[in-house]
Homo-oligomer: A and B are copies of this chain.
């Protein structure tokens, strides 16, 4: 059997450290994406082990969480970069950050609304299929129907 030791951690540091794979599993984000974000400077302060392996702390994990959140709301990478830079500049930028988040919240609300509309469409279509499969509308050759319906 093999014992999993994990990557090298500085001995004088008791805070937990996570590898890309750990983070990937914790946050349901692909390893590719995590490395991509880190390379783009979207996650400041990620440490490296002696063997050059990325080590995330709870702190850098929190950065990733907000990056991921902003991406989900539709903010492009460049926008996220801008937000991160605002954060690094200190408290003076808080109003601008708050404004940005408000905009993304609005965006997100709209997204959710759209998705719920799609849900209704799916439900409706599924209802139709169910009827057809249960034989309630078995007049397949009816020209009126075949003219009006697609799918």
* A residues adjacent to B (C-beta < 8 A): 44, 59, 62-63, 65-66, 69, 72-73, 83-84, 87, 90-91, 94-95, 97-98, 101-102, 104-105, 108-109, 111-112, 114-116, 118-119, 121-123, 125-126, 129-130, 132-133, 140, 147-148, 150-151
Contacts and interface: CB of A to CB of B under 8 A. Distances in A.
A97 to B, nearest CB: 6
A121 B66 contact: yes
A68 to B, nearest CB: 8
B59 A148 contact: yes
A122 B72 CA distance: 11
A67 to B, nearest CB: 10
B118 A108 contact: yes
